[in-house]
Every structure is written in structure tokens, then in C-alpha cells.
Structure 1
Amino acid sequence: MKLPRIALCLALLSTLAHAAPLSKEHRILFFGKDDRVLERPDHMPWQTVGQLETRSQTICTGTLVAPDVVLTAGHCFVDEKGRFDPAVSFTVGLWGNEYQALSRVKEVQVDKAFLKGLIHKRDGLYIPPRIAPRDFAFVRLATPLGNRQGTIPVFSGDRAQLGQLLARQNWTVTQGGYPVDDQRHLRVHHACKATKLRDDGRLTHRCDTLEGNSGSPIFIIDAKGQATIVAVQSSAPPAARRKQEDNMSVSAPMFRQALQAFIAKSGKPARK
């Protein structure tokens, strides 16, 4: 299997305010057709999903899981030369040129084994399979936004329990974020399919994602409309391998314990 290349975060285009035409390769990246819809981030769980910007003006998607903590992907904070690229801000409620709240970032925690294990090549950084399940990160905000926007619980069971939950939900999940073709509006794929919970803790799925969706939440939404994060988006295969491979995310059992410890450092308990 070819290694996934770090390519799902993107340089922020400050002048891009509306949807741009999809390139041929972007269209191929979808599973059959583009099933995403625009979703205003003014209600749960979408009001907790926001846009992270790094020092180099790269963007990713993240979700409030505690008043001052955002969950996202680890590779969002590594540039193509392997240097650490810290987050500088997190914005929620982004819709066009308006947003609900913004905070600067105090701290970013990326798994050390993930950073150490990245492979450097001439055309960029690659994630070998042995560290791919560690592609997660936690961001601490200078201004807690969760008290106003709310927070989303993270699945607290083990891999076997997550498999049982997915089976009960008929392997139906929901994903949303801020993709390359529309950096100013939230785009969501409702009721997309998770396909396999791998032994290494990664969850494959067929939600329609593009660059910029790195770190976006994979939700299970129950019959009452309550959302739980079961994974975070990590990588997608290139267009040439779309028919052979699904998108890849990191399931909650891989990072739940580390996330709890990170939240506890701020003195604010995680949601049950």
C-alpha cells in the first residue's frame, strides 16, 4: 500500500468567500457524486465545529470538546518540511464574512510518536501505517468558546464497544467541515457510510471530503438528534485510487484517554 501524503490541510486563501468550481480531480474524490450540503453553523452540533488557522496560514477543521479545547488532526500542524506549525486562531459559526466567535490559541498538543515517525520525501511528508492511528491533536484556546457555543461528547468506550455502536447505527455516520472549494461555509455529508473499523483503531468511511476537512468530526447522531464524535478525519486516497480505497479517520478509542488528560490540565472536566 502506498503511504498517504499529508495534503488535506491547505493554504488559506483570504479572498475566497464563495464556492469555487470543483476541479476534475476533486470531483473524482467523491464517492459517485457530491452529497454534501450547506449547513448553517447556528445549531448543534454544527455550532461547535470551526476553522483552525496556523501560523503559516494553513487551515483545518476542529470541534469544541470542552469549553477551551478543540479536537482535530495532528498533521494540521506540520508543514511540508516537517517543521511544527502551531495554530494561531479558532473560529466558530463561520458563514461567509461573518462568524460567531474567535479565539487565539494558547497550546497545541500533537502525539510525539506521530511527529517523530513522519517520512520526509522530496515532494512532501508521508504518514507510514505504524503512526497513522496517532494522527490527532488537541488545541487549547485562550478564550473558552464552549461556554457559549456548547461542546460535543467524544465516544468513551473501547474498540469493541464502538464496533457495536456502529453496527446498531447500520454503520451510518455524518461528517462536516470547511473544505477547499468553500472555505467560508460549512459543508456536511449527512448519513454517509463508515466501512470498516480496523484493528489499528482507524475507521474507514465514504463521506465526501476535500482538502481543509482534516480534523473534521465524524459523528454518530442518534434518534434524538444527539451527536457523539466517534472519529476525526485524517486522510483520503488520491483520485487514482478512489475506487480501491476509502477515506481514513482515527477512531475515538485511540485518543480518548490522552484527550481526557489534556482537558484535565485546564481544570475543566470532559463531558460524559
Structure 2
Amino acid sequence: MPLRLPSALRRLFSLTLALLSLAAPLSAGDDIQRLDTGDDGRGWEAVGRIDMAGAGFCTGALIAPDLVLTAAHCLFDAQGDAPIDPARMTFRAGWRNGRAEAYRGVRRAVVHPDFINLHDDRLARIAHDLALLQLDQPIRSNRIVPFDTATALTTGAEVELVSYAQGRSEAPSLQDVCHVLEQRDGVAMIDCAVNFGASGAPVFVAARDGMQIASVVSAKAAIGGMPVALGVDLARPLAELRAAFDTPQTIRKADIGAKFLKP
């Protein structure tokens, strides 16, 4: 049965976007499971931590042996006014308690062509907060299988989220079951609790052939004390990003910075 968003929550959707930078860190709920062991993390090895040479980290996921999907704002420095050199980035697939299933450098980073970090319209900014990282070498392993992406995300859908974040940076955490509360202009509001570092985390829907990525976490917020995650609905922007991937691109400067953590 579809989950219906209360009318008051709908009215607060736009207001929430204006208050994102003021949201206090959210505590992980009891429904967040830390994947500390190989058995716990089986099937999620293609989710990894993206480290920026001590400047911070985000979450990302493989969608091809050499491509990591993440949030575009992760590619800017802590002040948000300069892009981070891809040579400073490392993707740690399945990072868990000091070890990763695979380590790779990044040779190229491409943001969605319509992403502008200084955009006054927060909704438009989040709707295009998507990037691809091309690894310096493909990851080819029977244990690390890239995820397919979903073609649609619907209001009321059940989703799962795997991320690294503040207070749980040394192992991935799984949150299920969350629901898509609302969608508007390419942005999905999801009742998962996220924290700094979870930017770029994949949001999964169940499909016949396994879990597929349907959204990427862009921001966190709270409405009436209820934590929510705001993510990009991949249906349209991912195709646009893939098209831009073959075109040389310069990451634009911004005055609104990403939220980073020291690893």
C-alpha cells in the first residue's frame, strides 16, 4: 500500500530545502545496521568510501567496473570554491575496519552539466547533484559486482540505503526499510536518517535481478523532528550525465560547500 505524505509535510518540503545548511547532525536510529563482517556486507561490496586525501570523504557505488556514481558536491573542497583534483581521490570498495575489497585512484571526475553549487534554488541544485568518477583501473572481481540503476522511483516505494557517515565511517551501514515520502522536480524525500559523509550514498530498490540504485543522497534535513534524506531521482539526470561523460568538462566554482569529514 503506498505511503501517503501528510499535507503539512508536503507544505514544508520547499521550506526544508531552504534550511538544509542549518540542520543539526542527526543520530543514527536503531534500524541502521553496521555491516562489520564479511557476511554482513555480502552483496554490498560495490559500495565504497571516497577519500579526498585527508580533506574529507563521501560515499559512492560502482555502476561499471571503472565508474563510481556519487554526489556532485563531493567534488568540491570544504569551502566549496574550488574543485578537488581527481588525483587526490581514492575509492575504497567495501571499506570495513581498516581494509577494503579493492583500492583505486581516480583519473577523471565529471559532474552533471546542469549542476551549479551556488544555485539559489536548492531544489534545482539537489536535482542535478550527481557525478561520475572514472577509476584509474577497472575493478574486476567476482566479489565486487557493479550495481544496475533503476529507471523509475515512485512515491511510497520501499528503499534501502548503504552509506558511510559521521560516527560510522569505518564500516558501511545499511538502513532498511525506508520509504519515498514525496517527489518533486527530480528530488526525492526519503525517511532515512543520514549524516555528513553519506553524500553520494546509493538508495536501492529491489528488482527481479537484485538491488538497483534509484537515487543518490544529496542532503539531510529534519521536518518536525523527523529526519529525512533528500536525493536525486536518477530517471533523467543519469542519462544526461552519461551523455556529458564523453565531453570535456570543467567543474564550476561555488560558494556553497560540501560537508566533509576528516577520515
TM-score range, shorter chain: 0.7 to 0.9
Q: Quickly say closer, same or farther: Cα 1:91–1:242, change in 2 above 3 A.
A: farther
How far off its partner does 1:249 sit?
0.4
Unaligned runs of 5+ in 1: 9-23, 120-125, 266-272
Separation in 2, partners of 1:41, 1:75: 30
Matched, 1:185 2:171: yes
Q: Distance in 1 between matches of 2:74 and 2:46?
A: 19
Choose the corresponding residue for 1:135, options 129, 139, 146: 129
What residue number does 1:122 align with?
none
The DSSP-based 3-state class of the residue aligned with 2:59 is strand
Which residue number in structure 2 is paired with residue 13 of structure 1?
A: none
Counterpart of 2:214?
A: 230
Report the 3-state secondary structure (helix = DSSP H, G, I; strand = E; otherwise coil) of the residue aligned with 1:65: strand
Identity %: 23
Q: 1:225 to 1:112 in 2, by over 3 A?
A: closer
Q: Give the conservation status (yes or no) of the 8 Å contact 2:50–2:90.
A: yes
Give the one of 168, 173, 176 matched to 2:162: 176
The residue that corresponds to 1:78 in the other structure is 76
1:263 is displaced (CA, Å) by 6.8
Is the counterpart of residue 261 in structure 1 residue 243 in structure 2? yes
Pairwise CA distance, 1:225: 7.1
CA contact under 8 A between 2:112 and 2:237: conserved in structure 1?
Answer: no
Query: Which residue pairs with 1:162 in the alignment?
Result: 153
Please list the CA deviations of residues 147-202 of structure 1 after superposition, one character each: whole Å capped at 9, or x if unmatched.
Answer: 5411100113xxxx532xx6xxx52100011111021111110211211122x111
Question: CA 1:5–1:245 in 2, change beyond 3 Å: closer, same or farther?
Answer: same
Instruction: Give the alignment partner of residue 151 of structure 1, picking from 137, 146, 151.
Output: 146
| Higher strand content, 1 or 2 | 2
Equivalent runs, 1:1-272 vs 2, <5 Å:
1=15, 3=18, 5=20, 25-27=25-27, 33-39=29-35, 40=37, 45-55=43-53, 57-79=55-77, 80-87=79-86, 88-115=89-116, 117-118=117-118, 128-148=122-142, 149-156=144-151, 161-163=152-154, 171-198=157-184, 200-222=185-207, 226-237=210-221, 241=223, 243=225, 246-261=228-243
The residue type paired with residue 239 of structure 2 is Q
How many residues align? The count is 226
**Aligned amino acid, residue 145 of structure 1:** I
Residues 58 and 44 from structure 1, CA distance in 2 versus in 1: closer, same or farther, beyond 3 angstroms?
A: same
How many Å separate the matches in 2 of 1:47 and 1:155?
19
Mapped to 1, the partners of 2:33 and 2:52 lie a distance apart of 26
Q: For residue 215 of structure 1, what is the amino acid of its counterpart?
A: G
Distance 1:260 1:94, change over 3 A: same
Q: Secondary structure at the match of 1:129?
A: helix
CA distance in 2, matches of 1:246, 1:85: 28
Distance 1:4 1:48 in 2: 32
TM-score by length of 1: 0.73
- The Cα offsets for residues 40-60 of structure 1, whole Å up to 9 and x where unpaired, read as 466554111000012452100
> RMSD in angstroms over aligned alpha carbons?
2.8
Residues in 2 aligned to 1:82 and 1:127: alpha-carbon distance in whole angstroms: 18
